[in-house]
């Protein structure tokens, strides 16, 4: 297959791949929202005056840090039902695979938030506001990592960009398209995540510079 034919195939399938990448972003955002919410709750419990609850929260937080995401994704796909019937009614709602993927990916977010947000709040309480605010760029960078990790959702049948890439290769039935197609798909992640990574680095550096200047003026 000539380079012209390969380029033609890539352009033709771009809308299909872009739609799949939208699912990657949606999964990552949902996973981050769920993980941040639960992680924030664990931090609130850990900061409480109930010693037993605080200790339990710490143990749970450490447990979430050790969960293998891919294994959890398979567990969610197998153990969670595909359909849920509302008790007392005939209403049945589907439990889509992309939500299961988001649940699995949220585990890492829970561990990240419960660990880093706790340290940020303790720094804030000590008057180290600049250090505490460093949580924000770190949280943003972790979201970008989750977007990249969302490609593992293809393992449980989610029609995200990697899954669609495989479908395109199978439909065209041309092995010479495989490497260019995978490289093309990787560019989606690079072009989306790299500029935002730079933004997070700049934001973090400015915060660090502000902290340094604040200490120097004292």
> In Å, how far are 3, 6, 34, 85, 204 from 94, measured between CA atoms?
43, 38, 19, 9, 41
Domain assignment present for 89: no
Residue 64 within a domain: yes
Count the domains in the chain: 1
Structure tokens at 77: 């796909």
Rounded Cα–Cα distance for residues 60 and 49 (Å): 17
In Å, what is the CA distance from 190 to each residue of 11, 12, 66, 147?
18, 20, 27, 11
Within-domain flag for 88: no
C-alpha span between 139 and 117 (Å, rounded): 9
List, as own/partner pairs, every contact residues 119-126 make where C-beta atoms lie below 8 angstroms and the sequence separation is at least 24, other chains included.
121/43, 121/47
pLDDT at residue number 218 = 59
Side-chain half-sphere CA neighbours of 9 within 13 A: 24
Q: What is the pLDDT of residue 127?
A: 86
**What's the confidence (pLDDT) of residue 118?**
93
pLDDT per position as a tens digit, 173-198:
877 888 999 999 999 999 999 999 99
Q: Residue 68 maps to which CATH number? A: 1.10.3720.10
Report, as ranges of residue numbers, the positions in the chain whose pLDDT lies below 50: none
In a domain, 68, yes or no: yes
pLDDT the model gives residue 44 = 94
* 189 in a structural domain: yes
Residue 57 lies in a domain: yes
Domain that holds residue 170: 3-83+94-212
């Amino acid at each position: 297959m000539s380079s012209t034919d390969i380029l033609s195939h890539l352009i033709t399938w771009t809308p299909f791949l872009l739609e799949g990448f939208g699912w990657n972003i949606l999964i990552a955002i949902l996973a981050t929202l769920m993980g941040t919410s639960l992680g924030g709750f664990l931090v609130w419990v850990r900061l409480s005056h109930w010693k037993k609850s605080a200790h339990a929260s710490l143990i749970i937080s450490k447990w979430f840090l050790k969960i293998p995401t891919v294994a959890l994704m398979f567990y969610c796909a197998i153990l969670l039902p595909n359909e849920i019937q509302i008790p007392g009614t005939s209403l049945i709602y589907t439990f889509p695979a992309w939500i299961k993927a988001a649940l699995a990916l949220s585990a890492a977010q829970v561990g990240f938030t419960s660990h880093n947000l706790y340290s940020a709040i303790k720094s804030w309480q000590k008057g180290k506001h600049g250090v505490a605010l460093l949580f924000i760029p770190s949280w943003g960078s972790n979201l970008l990592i989750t977007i990249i990790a969302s490609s593992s959702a293809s393992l449980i049948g989610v029609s995200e960009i990697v899954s669609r890439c495989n479908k395109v290769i199978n439909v065209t039935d041309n092995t010479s398209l495989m490497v260019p197609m995978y490289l093309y798909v990787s560019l989606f992640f690079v072009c989306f995540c790299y500029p935002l990574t730079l933004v997070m680095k700049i934001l973090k550096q400015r915060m660090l510079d502000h902290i340094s200047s604040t200490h120097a003026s004292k």
